[in-house]
Amino acid sequence: MTTVSDTPALKIALLGGGTVGSQVARILIEDAESLTERLGAELQLTRILVRNPQATRDYQLPDEYYSDDADEVLEGADIVVELMGGVERTRELVLQSIEQGSNVVTGNKALLATHGNELYEAAADAGVQLSFEASVAGGIPILRPLRDSLSGDKVTRIMGIVNGTTNYILDQMDTTGAYFNDALAEAQRLGFAEADPSADVDGDDAAAKIAILAHLAFHAPFSLDEVYTQGIGEVSEMDHTAAATAGYVIKLLAIAEELDDPNGVVLRVHPTLLPRDHPLASVRGAYNAVFVEAENAQELMFYGPGAGGPPTASAVMGDVMSIAKRKLRGGPGRTHTARRDLQALEIGESITRYMVVIRAADASGVLAKVAGTFAEHQVSIKSMNQTLDEASTEEDKTALLAFITHRAKESQLAQTLKATEALEEVREVLSVMRVEGK
């Protein structure tokens, strides 16, 4: 029988005692026996770095666990678990951990999106592991499948709903007709919005996540400023109505896809129309999902809670266990897979479908003229729906025309729109949205 004295132990230092940090502490303490059984070693939580050691926490440990002295907390750690958030001070502490030979687990997407390359290189140089499953889509295991399970395949495209706040808002607007601000306030109350919700609403949170996903899927580093980012702030009731009429739902998608000519990856985050029968269209509320297309596996979908203490702590613990197993076996740290020289492409290279809603004179020949303008620019129309325009008057009879196009290059669409706007009969291009799915 194994006794405590002959069981090896690994020291875990925790940076941050917030929502996720507290849950990681809880699992390490409450599940200690079963973790030890599974690992063949103890995971010893040593100290927790917090700003205020006296504060009350979701999962309260005796006072001696908490410290505001980073050096003291990091000392002798086999694994440092960083869940404190923030970027610059956190970067310093992660680098300090790596330099002292500790492995690091982090859930900090902003840190990785900003300083990822520096940290991956530092970890590789020091021969330690840097794992970050919790940084994307909370409790969904997606990074390990991309890095390990799909390493014998070729990923061609990733489309993700990776921000729960915006999915919740769009879902509420679509299903209950809720107003944007009310839905956002509810998301904040439910606790999944970022401290500053503009990172959710403006698409920056999703952009950081797709940069991380693309790095693993395409084996090349990408940074946040290479992601074309458009948030949901301008999605109107009219957009929802036009999408619903055509059989679509609006989702904020984070997309990374490899193109052949020119070869590179387009990274984009924007409100997107999806057919209602697309698997991602069924992702409701604050849930997340990542849809992966690969040459041989074909289409896969990973679905689950994208935020929250226990789900995110589950992802953190998966990394901790994986690092601990490698450390016990004495193998080398996993090196990062930035082995391809693959460029991020401009959004103009992207090829997709579009919904274009215009307000135009309701008179004979107008539709033909607009359709002709699309044809001149090689943008083929798939369907069109005409509805009444509330702004229409006796003197100026107008209608709303909602076109769904076939696939076209973004730069061609831009030229089409310019020419359409210049038509005398066209009053306004009211909305342009990209459309994905078949």
> Which residue among 78, 204, 205, 410 contacts ligand HSE (CB under 6 A)?
205
Site string for ligand HSE, 398-417 (x = CB under 6 A): --------------------
Q: Name the minimum Å distance from CB 253 to ligand HSE.
A: 14
Verify binding: residue 200, ligand HSE, rule CB under 6 A.
yes
Q: Which stretch binds ligand HSE (CB under 6 A): 10-18, 29-37, 76-84, 190-198?
A: 190-198
- Reference 115, options 86, 81, 137; nearest CA is 86
If binding means CB under 6 A, how many residues of this protein chain bind ligand HSE?
10
Verify binding: residue 202, ligand HSE, rule CB under 6 A.
no
Verify binding: residue 221, ligand HSE, rule CB under 6 A.
no
Nearer to ligand HSE among residue 193 and residue 249 (C-beta): 193
b/e per residue 149-172 (b: at least 16 CB within 10 A)? ebeeeebbbbbbbbbbbbbbbbbb
Site string for ligand HSE, 153-172 (x = CB under 6 A): ----------xxx-------
Q: Name the minimum Å distance from CB 188 to ligand HSE.
A: 10
Site string for ligand HSE, 259-298 (x = CB under 6 A): ----------------------------------------
Q: Name the minimum Å distance from CB 225 to ligand HSE.
A: 19
Query: Active-site residue among 11, 109, 154, 209?
Result: 209
How far CA 423 is from CA of 79, 155, 203, 374, in Å, comes to 64, 42, 33, 12
Q: Which two tokens stand for residue 163?
A: 């921000």
- Whose tokens are 């004495």? That residue is 330
Nearer to ligand HSE among residue 136 and residue 408 (C-beta): 136
Nearer to ligand HSE among residue 126 and residue 206 (C-beta): 206
Nearer to ligand HSE among residue 23 and residue 102 (C-beta): 23
> Which residue among 126, 184, 193, 426 contacts ligand HSE (CB under 6 A)?
193
Q: Name the minimum Å distance from CB 116 to ligand HSE.
A: 16
Verify binding: residue 108, ligand HSE, rule CB under 6 A.
no
Q: Tell me how long the chain is.
A: 438
Q: Which two tokens stand for residue 260?
A: 């052949």
Verify binding: residue 345, ligand HSE, rule CB under 6 A.
no
Q: Name the minimum Å distance from CB 167 to ligand HSE.
A: 8
Q: Name the minimum Å distance from CB 163 to ligand HSE.
A: 4
- Reference 133, options 322, 292, 308; nearest CA is 322
Q: Which stretch binds ligand HSE (CB under 6 A): 4-12, 189-197, 394-402, 406-414?
A: 189-197
- Whose tokens are 């076939």? That residue is 406
Verify binding: residue 210, ligand HSE, rule CB under 6 A.
no
| 5 CB-near residues (< 8 Å, 6+ apart) | none
Q: Name the minimum Å distance from CB 204 to ligand HSE.
A: 10
- Whose tokens are 């979908």? That residue is 301
> Which residue among 66, 192, 287, 374 contacts ligand HSE (CB under 6 A)?
192
Q: Name the minimum Å distance from CB 192 to ligand HSE.
A: 5
Site string for ligand HSE, 298-337 (x = CB under 6 A): --------xx------------------------------
Nearer to ligand HSE among residue 17 and residue 160 (C-beta): 160
Nearer to ligand HSE among residue 81 and residue 408 (C-beta): 81
**Residue 438 is among the residues annotated as catalytic for this protein:** no
| Catalytic positions, written as ranges | 209
Chain residues that interact with ligand HSE, rule: CB under 6 A: 163-165, 192-194, 200, 205, 306-307
